[in-house]
Structure formats: C-alpha cells, structure tokens
Amino acid sequence: MSLVTVGSVAFDAIETPFGKTDKIIGGAGTYIAFSSSYFMKNQNIVSVVGEDFPQEMLDKLSNKGVNLEGLQIIEGEKSFFWSGKYHNDMNSRDTLVTELNVLENFDPIIPASYQGCEYLMLGNLSPDVQLKVINRMEKRPKLVAMDTMNFWMDIAMDDLVKAIAAIDMLIINDEEARQLSGEYSLVKAAKKIREMGPKFLVIKKGEHGALLFHGTDVFFAPALPLEDVFDPTGAGDTFAGGFMGYLASTDDISFENMKRGIIAGSAMASFCVEKFGTEKLENLTKTEIEDRIQEFVQLTNFDMVKSI
C-alpha cells in the first residue's frame, strides 16, 4: 500500500545537556519519512524547501525509496528553521528561533502519482495546509492521521477544529491533549477529543510511553527505558512514521494491528533519541529494528496464569 506524508523538511539547531549542534537537517516530514522507510517502500512526501537545502539529503531520502515529486524547491527562498534548547529533564524545551521562510506561503501540491494513496500522514503544520491536503486527495484514503501542536491551538483553533473533524486519527502529546480538551485527566481528554471527530486517538507521553484509544478499547505501550536520551527532537515524528509505515505495510487498521504499529513506532522513536537529529535513523538495519521490537515484547510481556 502507499503512504503520503505531509510535513516540514527543514533545518534545526539543537542544544541538550549532552551537547549542541549547528544547523542540521530536521523537520517532521524528514523524521516521518526516514522512519516509515524501514517498513515500506511505496511512500511519497509533500513538502517545501528553499534553495539552501542540500541535495545530498534529498538523495538520502530518495535512496530510502521516498518519492520526492511532491517536494517543492523554492528558488530565492530559505528553508524552515527551528532552534531550541532542552532543559535538564529533557521533557521541556525553549524555542530560541523560528523562521517560517518557505512554510509561510506553503501551498501543498499533490502530484497525480500520489492520488489513490491508502494512508495519509499529516505532520505538524498549519491546520489550513493540512485541510488543503485532505481536500486535494481525489479519493479518501483508508486512514488519515494527523499531528498538531499547542501553537495552532493558540492561533488557529477554528481551522484546527475543522481539520480534526476531517481525520480518522489524531496523534498528539499529553500536554496538547490537555490543552485541546481542557481536561487534565487523559481519559476524559480522550473522550472529548474523539467527540471532535477522530475515531482513533494516540496520546504520546514521551519517556512515559503512548496510549491508543478507539471505542472502549485502550492500549498502552511504554517507552524503552534508556541509559541516556541525547536528543528528543523528532521522536514524536519518528514514532508516527514507524506507526504509519507499519500500518501501510500490513494494510490492516484493526485495533489488534494498530497495537503492533504502536510498538513499531515506539521502537523507532527509541533509536531516534540516541543521537542528535536524524543520524541514528539514517542507517539502521532490519535486524537492529527486529531486536529492538523484541526488547519491547520482553519489557511488557507477562502471562497471568493465576490472578487472585
């Protein structure tokens, strides 16, 4: 099956307690595409970069089987740039710089070859752009998933509500779920958010794992306990990429299979945080990923032969 990913392809500069980077490659679209590429080859990206974006990185994505036909390169303009600094606990960060650049007037193009895709992942972007993409798909995909962030709740809530009403699955973190719903309890938040439209909801809790809600079903997957988290940037996107890549490759959106997708996404995210940027994600082997998934099986598996 084919997957279309919409998301930024951009530059980041990151500071964590473990070190500091210059401008490196980042962006939700980049992380999602690298991550899903390990599960399936028929994937396509919709994005925009400036003429400053290195061809070498685009080649790396191509080599992973990512179709770049829907990636616009705008001459005379610069790529999106974000810079942030993580606090000691790695759970919170300050944004130092945000330069929208090419994203400011991003008008997504869906090439004819992308039409008919079954899986659509809308990375964090303006909800107006996310809605445009949904509307420009000639045939409704089997599963439309979307990420967003607090920023859009603050400045574009009306558009965001429309986008959320048009999707099948929202993938956000715990703080975003709380802000979106006005509920502190994630169980209550999940109820309210699903009343806004999406049948499926994933709440990411960073180092504390992720929850999947559908109907009366709930599934929880932990994050892998790691000695060190070097850089959390992109972990949420990497999770989403692994998850959607797994679903698209198996072409099964049953709750049972979504659980497996959550584990696959969690495994990919656990690699992402081990190095700065996309470094670790660029060169994984199938065996490394299989072994990591087995670590999740070991971590969570129990057989309740006798309960009480």
Q: How far is CA 47 from CA 79, 109, 130, 202, 291, in A?
A: 11, 8, 11, 24, 32
Binding-residue total with a copy of itself (CB under 8 A): 48
Compute the radius of gyration of the chain from its Cα atoms. Answer: 18
263 lies in the binding site for a copy of itself (CB under 8 A): yes
91 lies in the binding site for a copy of itself (CB under 8 A): no
Written as six digits, the tokens of 25 are: 């490659």
What 8-state DSSP symbol labels residue 225?
P
Q: CB under 8 A: which stretch of 27-35, 60-68, 142-150, 297-305 binds a copy of itself?
A: 297-305
Please report which residue ranges of the chain form alpha helices under DSSP H: 28-37, 55-63, 127-136, 150-155, 157-165, 174-181, 186-195, 235-250, 255-272, 279-282, 286-300
Report the residue from 22, 75, 76, 88 that binds a copy of itself according to the rule CB under 8 A.
Answer: 88
Q: What angle do CA 8, 180, 95 make, to 5 degrees?
A: 45
Written as six digits, the tokens of 133 are: 């993409």
Kindly state the smallest distance separating residue 257's Cβ from a copy of itself, in Å: 9
Residue closer to a copy of itself by CB (options 58, 235) is 235
Q: CB under 8 A: which stretch of 42-50, 107-115, 144-152, 296-304 binds a copy of itself?
A: 296-304
Report the residue from 220, 274, 275, 279 that binds a copy of itself according to the rule CB under 8 A.
Answer: 220
1 lies in the binding site for a copy of itself (CB under 8 A): no
Q: Which of the residues 94 through 123 are near a copy of itself (CB under 8 A)?
A: none
Q: CB under 8 A: which stretch of 73-81, 150-158, 192-200, 291-299 binds a copy of itself?
A: 291-299
Question: In this structure, are residues 26 and 233 in contact, taking their beta carbons and an 8 Å threshold?
Answer: yes
Rounded CA-CA distance 213/211 in Å is 7
Kindly state the smallest distance separating residue 250's Cβ from a copy of itself, in Å: 6
Residue closer to a copy of itself by CB (options 151, 184) is 184
Q: Which residues contact 220 (CB under 8 A, 6 or more apart)?
A: 209, 210, 211, 212
Q: Which of the residues 118 through 147 are near a copy of itself (CB under 8 A)?
A: none
Q: What's the length of the chain?
A: 308
304 lies in the binding site for a copy of itself (CB under 8 A): yes
Report the residue from 38, 53, 82, 114 that binds a copy of itself according to the rule CB under 8 A.
Answer: 38
Kindly state the smallest distance separating residue 246's Cβ from a copy of itself, in Å: 8
Nearest CA among 294, 148, 163 for reference residue 224: 294
Residues at the site binding a copy of itself, with contacts judged by CB under 8 A: 38-39, 88-89, 184-188, 205, 208-209, 211, 217-222, 225-229, 250, 256, 259-260, 262-264, 286, 289-290, 293-294, 297-308
